[in-house]
Chain A
Amino acid sequence: MSLFGNLSDLPFVEVVALLSRKSGALEISLGPFRSHYQLYVADGSLRGMVRDHSPVEDALQAREEIVKLFVAQSGSFEFTKLSPESLVGNLDLPLQRILLSISTMHDEIGAFREHFADPRTQFRATQALEESLDPTLSDFWQRSHKYFSDLPSGISAQQLSSLLRISLEQAQLYLYKLRAAGLVAPIRAVEQPPKNHQPLAPSIPASAPVAVGVAQPSPKSKPRSDGLIPRLLQALKGKIL
């Protein structure tokens, strides 16, 4: 007996639940001029995926396609049983766990959207990965790490979304989480000032409402010849005295 219907009646989440102990090919057509999918599942795992006649190459992309199916309001589907042995593909993703993580991701995007960095903000890697990340974040990190490390100007959510073919908000969420994990940080186009630099003019009184950090110039540094900044500082300080 065939298993078929429309996602408008039976959402993708429920279709996947029905397939948890089955093996075969699930064909989904989201409609005319929209994507057509073949998902090969065995024992609750996604073993391979084809979208519009092109194989989906890695786990991160597969997750992105599953997100689209997860939110699809309609689309016809049909499942054909196949023997598990015939389903040897390039993927091995536990479908129900992925759906759970997608559901979580949607909630997280809703909850953290306001706190995301601007999509054009450039990020860099700050440290090597020492602890294990959750599988979704780990896939993202593995695919994106080279961009953080190799590009001197860093990389933005906008660029990652395009390079990795994932949604912009997904890229922003991953960056938000990687940042919280201390693995990435925004690039500063101008380097941090040297620690403990010396003030160029008499220092601000302790009672002044500012926190002054001042330091030793680095050994190779040399003062500017035009003295513009000291002149401006002197004039400014003259305004308060």
Chain B
Amino acid sequence: MSKERIKISPDLYDIMPSDYQDLVQSATYGKEDRGWKDIGTSKELIEQHSLCAGCPESMAFRYILASLPNPEDTVMVGSTGCTSLVFPMVAVHNIHSLFGNQNAIASGLKRALSVRFPDRVKDVVVLAGDGATVDIGLDMTLQAWFRQEKFTTICFDNELYANTGGQESGLMQKGFVAKMAPVGKLFDKVRLPEIARESGCHYVVNCTVSKPSLVEKVIRNSVLIAREIGPTYIQLYTPCILEIGKNSMEGLQEMRDSEKPTERFAYKEYISEPAKQLLAELAAKDKERKAAAKQLAGKA
């Protein structure tokens, strides 16, 4: 859908709930430099959600939705998990896949969109939890990367199966004892970012969502690289405060503690050579555009 189509019929405008009027009037669809700084001054693309109070996943959702470069022409693919409780409240096209199937669905979707809209940029972004990405859906995740499918995979890593009570997942850290995994994890956290790099992803980042500007940069890069070059993978630590015994206010600190240099979510980034070149070109164009705009503003 193009942003020009997001218009309310004038004769029925007054009966539309205010959320929709706000979306049309002040959401950042079509804004070139959209980003997390729009939060608070424009209508966000996420309405009320049913996540727990203080859940870092809700922060992640807000930053990601604020950072998508092309939300009016983006389709997100979700999977079973806490994220699937949020997608109904997101004002971006989205599909709920069977548990683990998300990268297979996204592959077909991306190809179909390319055929249906050959002249328009359509982005596909997978957003799923660690169970869907690394355990149940690992086959689909890897095969999509092997095939060099042009979409972004985002994994919300909370290191366990949160909404079913705390079972062990592949991304759980070694030795961690969860409510439904009383023995403690016996082997290491799966090193999916490294696997992603070796499987052909052109941009891989492992980080937390404690810094919105960083999340914005990472999401923007990953979508733009996936659009032009090939698969990208972002692993974001979104701790489940309930399952690790924290209070609502402690999610942010938990992420800060986990991103220290020696910790498992210390910022790691891999960019392939073609992706580096693309980012450099985009940065140069952006600089040129901003300079021209500044000049124009000066003349006015």
Q: Tell me whether A and B are bound partners.
A: no
Q: A-side interface residues toward B, CB under 8 Å?
A: none
